Amino acid sequence: MSMEKSQPRPEPEGCLTAFIRMPVRIVVLVIVVPVRMVWDVLVVCARAVDRAVLRPVGRSLAWLFRHVVAVPLTWLGTHVLAPLFRGVFTAVTWLAKALCVWPWVALWRYVVVPLVRYGIAIPAAWLYRTVLTPLGQGLAWIFTRTGHGLGRLLTGLWRYLLVPLAHYGFAVPAGWLHARVLTPLGRALTWLFTGLGRVLGWLAKALFVWPWVALWRYLLVPLVRCGIVVPLAWLWRRVLAPVGREIVDALQVCWRIAGHISRAVGRAVKWLAWNLIGRPLAWFYKCVARPVGHWVRDSLWAPARSAAVQAGRVARAALASARATVRQARRDAWYALVGGVRPTEPGEPVVASARTLGSTTSASGAAPAPEISPRRRG
């Protein structure tokens, strides 16, 4: 015998399964294809709405909530409500202590404790130590002596009177009565009632149990099994289960096929949109808009920009020259009216003229001017 486990053979398909397979798949495919296409369109629209609307709106709402609600509430709670609640809690705590704790503490400490100590505890301790302790010791001695005598008396009565009387007056007759009378009578009654119970039990089973058991076993069970369970099981196994299995398989297969069809339709729509709208727009942008834009940029915008830059530079230079001329004229007019030596412009060093061979100094003690130009010193 082979040690390998034999694989279970697939259950043979019935004629009903092979008969309904193709019609069911065709019908399900016709029903599922529109549903799958609508589902794909809804998925695409939902993703677009999520990406274009819901996420920006969610971020905007989150930002708005953070800056309009969360931050003000946090600031309010941190800088207003928390100190306010802390102060209120401190005030309420102090007031509660002042009204409910400190008066009772003072009453306990300065009234109740001294009153109990000096009014009850000390007198009670003195009474216990001086009166009750000697009295208790005396009573204990009296009761001890009396108890010893009374105990001996009661022990003698119990041992020599009550125990023999109970033994010979009650226990011995009761034992004889139990052994000679009650035990045989109980056994006889037990045997009688046991036999009677068995007879009545058999009679009750014969009248009330066995007929119903026979009715259930030989009539109802075969009737239900052969009339209901077996047909329903056959209907389930031979009709409903194959049909349901084929419908489920058809739904799975047709859902996949509908997905392929939907993707093919989507690609076709995409191709049509590209060739009808996208490609002409791309050609227009590449062949018309971009060259025209480059020509406008190079032929019109660049010269105009250069001319504007040059005009701006010329205008700035003219304005600077005019400002310098106005300042110089104002300064000359001021010195002409006021008088005085005109100061040199800042940044213009005063350099003595170079001495030549034929030049002479005006003063006898003046130092000769340098013959080297100051521009060559550095």
Name, of 17-21, 325-329, 346-350, the range with top average pLDDT.
325-329
Residue 120: its pLDDT value, please? 87
Contact 355, 369 (CB under 8 A): yes
Give the C-alpha separation, 284 to 279, whole Å. Answer: 8
Q: Would 274 be classed as within a structural domain?
A: yes
| Tokens describing residue 229 | 């369970």
In the predicted model, is pLDDT for residue 169 greater than 70? yes
For the residues of 99-165, what is the DSSP string, one character each?
IIIHHHHHHIIIIIHHHHIIIIIHHHHHHIIIIIHHHHHHHHHHHHHHHHHHHHHHHHHIIIIIHHH
Range of the domain at 65: 27-334
Residue 345: its pLDDT value, please? 53
| Tokens describing residue 24 | 């069911």
Residue 41: its pLDDT value, please? 85
Residue 141: its pLDDT value, please? 84
Crossing angle of helices 15-49 and 241-273, rounded to 10°: 40
Q: Would 196 be classed as within a structural domain?
A: yes
Q: What is the DSSP letter of 372?
A: S
**Can you tell me which residue has the tokens 């350099």?**
351
Residue 242: its pLDDT value, please? 78
Read off the pLDDT of residues 345-366 as tens digits, 9 standing for 90 and up. 554 444 444 444 444 444 444 4
Q: Would 82 be classed as within a structural domain?
A: yes
Q: CA torsion, points 191, 196, 197, 198, in degrees to nearest 10?
A: 90
Sign of the dihedral defined by the CA atoms of residues 239, 241, 242, 248, in that order: positive
Sign of the dihedral defined by the CA atoms of residues 257, 263, 266, 271, in that order: negative
Read off the pLDDT of residues 60-112 as tens digits, 9 standing for 90 and up. 999 999 999 999 999 999 999 999 999 999 999 999 999 989 999 999 989 99
Give the C-alpha separation, 156 to 152, whole Å. Answer: 6
Largest Cα–Cα separation, the chain: 186
Residue 44: its pLDDT value, please? 86
Read off the pLDDT of residues 74-84 as tens digits, 9 standing for 90 and up. 999 999 999 99
Q: Would 226 be classed as within a structural domain?
A: yes
Give the C-alpha separation, 374 to 353, whole Å. Answer: 10
Give the C-alpha separation, 28 to 246, whole Å. Answer: 11
Read off the pLDDT of residues 208-255 as tens digits, 9 standing for 90 and up. 888 899 999 888 998 898 888 888 998 888 778 877 887 888 788 888
Please give the tally of structural domains in the chain: 1
Residue 248: its pLDDT value, please? 83
Give the C-alpha separation, 351 to 377, whole Å. Answer: 13
Q: Would 376 be classed as within a structural domain?
A: no
Whole-model pTM: value is 0.35
Contact 250, 25 (CB under 8 A): yes
Q: Would 231 be classed as within a structural domain?
A: yes
The mean pLDDT of 10-31, rounded to a whole number, is 63
Give the C-alpha separation, 110 to 100, whole Å. Answer: 16
Give the C-alpha separation, 149 to 145, whole Å. Answer: 7
Contacts of 40 (CB under 8 A, 6+ apart): 259, 262, 263, 266
Give the C-alpha separation, 374 to 378, whole Å. Answer: 8
For the residues of 264-304, what is the DSSP string, one character each?
HHHHHHHHHHIIIIIHHHHHHIIIIIHHHHHHIIIIIIHHH
Contact 254, 25 (CB under 8 A): yes
| Tokens describing residue 17 | 């399964």
Give the C-alpha separation, 185 to 177, whole Å. Answer: 11
In the predicted model, is pLDDT for residue 12 greater than 80? no
| Tokens describing residue 127 | 């009474």
In the predicted model, is pLDDT for residue 378 greater than 70? no
Residue 55: its pLDDT value, please? 92
Q: What is the DSSP letter of 370?
A: P
Residue 17: its pLDDT value, please? 57
